[in-house]
Amino acid sequence: MEKTKMAAKDSEETPTSRPWQTYHTVFTNAKAGMEGVDKEKVQRIVYEMSKGSKYFENEARKEAEMKVKIENMRLQYAKLTASDICHYQKVADKRIVELEITRDLSRIWLHIDMDAFYAAVETLSNPSLKGKPMAVGGMSMLSTANYEARKFGVRAAMPGFIARKLCPDLIFVPVDFRKYTHYSDLTRKVFQRYDQNFMAASLDEAYLDITEVCSNRGITGGEVAEELREIVYVETGLTCSAGVAPNRLLAKVCSDINKPNGQFILPNERIAVMTFISSLPIRKIGGIGKVTENILKEVFGITTCEEMLQKSGSLCALFSRSSADFFLSVGLGLGGTDTPQVKFRKSISNERTFSATKDEAVLYQKIVELAEMLSADMKKEGLSGRTLTLKLKTASFEVRTRAVTLQNYVYSSEDILKHASKLLKAELPVAIRLMGLRMSHFREDHDGFLVDPTQKTLSSFFGSGDARKVKTDDDVSFGSNVNASLLATNEETGLPLDNHELCCDLTDHQSDTNQILNHTSSTSNNYCVEMEDSDRLPSNVSEVKVNSLNTKIRDYPKSYESDESQEKKTLSRSVDESSNYQRSQEIAGSSSNHKDFSLWVDDYKCSLCGAEIPSNFVEERQDHSDFHLAERLQEEESNNYNANLTLKKRVVEKELVASQGKGKKKKKQSPSLLRPSVNHKRNPLLQTRDKNINTEVYEENNASSADMAKKIKTALCKNSGLRSSSFPPDIVNLVAYVSVTI
């Protein structure tokens, strides 16, 4: 507490003639190669060049927010009674004992950190840069700086124009990731010789478990580090620094101690670890950044790792269990010692910064590009996801994120764009300087492994390989509504439309088809065609079930027509953009002109239900027509409910809602949007629709059955891991048949 008071006193006494002292940037923090830098000079220049800018204002805002947070925490802290403190101290003591038990000093971890990696690589390819202050990056931002530049206070993450002010002779070299990746690969080849399962933290950092190397060769961790660094230098011409310690957290701290081109070894002894940690500044720990450091310092007076243990009761009282555990572990010098199993990524994203604009056409173009990039990345990694998050940074540097969780897993740029546009639209008008898209909540297969949508090869046999490619013009109103006008005209509330969409989910279908070949059983779709010839399958394909399109439909409430206030909200697209060829054919077959299904009396009133929609609400009108079309289709097809099923179909009843899982939160909706879901078993539309689809697809595919058989064979090989010769010809034909008939 004493330290807190002192910090407050310092702040009060800051002379107003030196305002830069209150501008907290990361540029004056200790970083390798920056010892001896005139910090006050750097701080003054950064301040002078920043003040008045929107960035500066935003930083001030963030700073103020942090102060409020700290103040609130102080108040909470002050409210703790003696018995509270006593209680939490007991909790903390118990937890410390439990954590201490987990201490593992049997492993030897090596952390390797390449020295000024990008800058070093650039110097390798252009030796004339050697000895000169140089930075990689541009006038707006630097990725890194060499040690000569660091002497001037220039460092990574600093704007280039400030760096130039600090060091007028600074040489700027543009970023070249291909080069860095190449050299990174070279270093990784070396790492692999010491630990097959080394963990790459980034292009220039890696963790290696060298326990076995040490014991097998009877050498110390320090000797391994020395040898490895030498080999890296010989094979790449680059230097690196190393840290050796009993766990990864400590190894990382150690590698920074004798940077550049040095190493530090922390013995695998508890006393050594505790001594090392005792005076270690908390900011040296990976995971403790500017904000956490400030909170710990200002609220609890904690500046070293040792003090984490001294204030353990307070930490347990004010932080969550996981946060408190982390802080206590740091105080004990504990860190990861296991080699983690393969870690699946939890999200994938991309973002781009550009000149701030509020031009909706420009913003739309940006989001199109992002959607395409994200989709490409997802395809590359074989991912499909349900939660899409839009990130925006406004012209005033305010960061906003908006997310939507879909009913279906998506990965196509069309689907991503459709939902991203809705999210963006809800934010407009606003001047934006950065936009990003992230997908998370990935699909997993029955074993918990992520499913690769690109492996859903069977589904791609429908139509001409890519169902979307064979869309007809008639699809437009159902499938291609995502365009700039969407941003401009649609005034929905931003609620997810999935809840009231009628969709043929190609994605789901594809995945399910994929699962056939992964010999998983199907339970979650509307139809299954069960093959009875499964005994002829290769041994690892024990069961084959083919799912139909995961066609979903939801009812619209009868009260819809009378609730004028809800009209706009319900005028959503009634068919998902992922509708495919089959769906379009079916719709087209039922209505020759579904684009104009409703008649507009006096050019604003729907002749069917009386809804009033001005003529300039083009999309809303379209959606409204779609709604009536779907309604009529349902009526028409319910008359044919008893249409016979020609295939051996087993109808699997599965409530759409049930597939959403237990306890799932639904986005708050207006009453009219809370539409009951349709019981698929009783939904005649689904059954007859599939019949139509079968016909279309079958004819489509008959034209290239040989080609298709070939593709199927490839798919079987890919999914089963067997060679094509392993499959009896019958199985290929059989799967081909099922594929074209469902």
Could you list the active site residues?
A: 205
Per CB under 7 A, the list member of 30, 60, 157, 361 interacting with DNA is 157
What crossing angle do the helices spanning 321-332 and 270-278 adopt, rounded to 10°?
110
> Which range, of 55-63, 75-83, 118-126, 270-278, touches DNA by CB under 7 A?
55-63
293 lies in the binding site for DNA (CB under 7 A): yes
Residues between 663 and 682 with contacts to DNA, criterion CB under 7 A: 663-668
CB-nearer residue toward DNA: 373 or 722: 373
CB 430 within 8 A of CB 373: no
Figure out which of the listed residues 105, 434, 645, 717 binds DNA, where binding follows CB under 7 A. 434
What's the closest the beta carbon of residue 513 comes to DNA, in angstroms? 24
Footprint of DNA on residues 168-227 (CB under 7 A)?
201-202, 205
Question: To the nearest whole angstrom, how small is the minimum distance from the Cβ of residue 518 to DNA?
Answer: 23
How far is the C-alpha of 700 from the C-alpha of 390, rounded, in Å? 38
Reported as half-sphere exposure (CB side, CA atoms, 13 A), residue 620 has a value of 23
Q: Are strands 432-442 and 545-547 parallel, antiparallel or unpaired?
A: unpaired
Applying CB under 7 A, which part among 207-215, 318-326, 471-479, 480-488 lies near DNA?
318-326
Site string for DNA, 114-153 (x = CB under 7 A): -------------------------xxx------------
Pairing mode, strands 134-137 and 171-173: parallel
| Sole residue written with tokens 């320090």 | 222
Q: Is 456 in the site for DNA (CB under 7 A)?
A: no
Nearest distance from C-beta of residue 121 to DNA, angstroms = 18
Kindly state whether residue 340 participates in binding DNA, applying the rule CB under 7 A: no
Instruction: Report residue 185 as tokens.
Output: 């690969």
| H helix runs in 382-461, sequence order | 413-425
Q: Which of residues 345-404 bind DNA (CB under 7 A)?
A: 345-353, 377, 387, 389, 397, 399-404
By CB atoms closer than 10 A (0-12, 13-18, 19+), residue 116 is: buried
* Interface with DNA, residue 286, by CB under 7 A: yes
**Structural tokens at position 651:** 């109808």
**Segment interacting with DNA (CB under 7 A) among 79-87, 283-291, 560-568, 691-699:** 283-291
In angstroms, give the least distance from the CB of 663 to DNA: 4
Segment interacting with DNA (CB under 7 A) among 52-60, 228-236, 510-518, 717-725: 52-60
Please list the residues that pair with 385 across neighbouring strands.
410, 442
Q: Which residue has the tokens 């507009």?
A: 600
320 binds DNA (CB under 7 A): yes
DSSP letter assigned to residue 726: G
Cis ω on the peptide bond leading into residue 260 (within 30° of 0)? yes
CB of 702 to DNA, least distance (A): 41
Q: Within positions 81 to 120, which residues make up the interface with DNA, using CB under 7 A?
A: none
- Choice from 37, 288, 410, 517 touching DNA (CB under 7 A): 288
Nearer to DNA, 288 or 367 (CB): 288
**Position among 159, 243, 262, 313 found at the interface with DNA (CB under 7 A):** 159
What is the spatial distance between Cα 376 and Cα 506, in angstroms, rounded to a whole number?
A: 17
* C-alpha–C-alpha distance, residues 629 and 594, integer Å: 7
C-alpha to C-alpha distance for 527 and 550, rounded to whole angstroms? 8
622 closest CA partner among 467, 474, 417, 421:
474
CB 419 within 8 A of CB 406: yes
Between 3 and 402, name the residue whose CB sits nearer to DNA. Answer: 402
Taking every pair of C-alpha atoms in the chain, what is the biggest distance, in angstroms?
92
Query: Which residue, 345 or 682, has its beta carbon nearer to DNA?
Result: 345
Supply the minimum distance, in Å, between the C-beta of residue 681 and DNA: 19
Instruction: In angstroms, give the least distance from the CB of 391 to DNA.
Output: 7
Give residue for tokens 């050594």.
Answer: 272
List C-alpha distances in Å: 634 to 185, 247, 556. 58, 63, 11
Residues 631-670 that bind DNA (CB under 7 A): 660-668
Task: Give the range of 288-296, 307-315, 555-563, 572-580 binding DNA by CB under 7 A.
Answer: 288-296
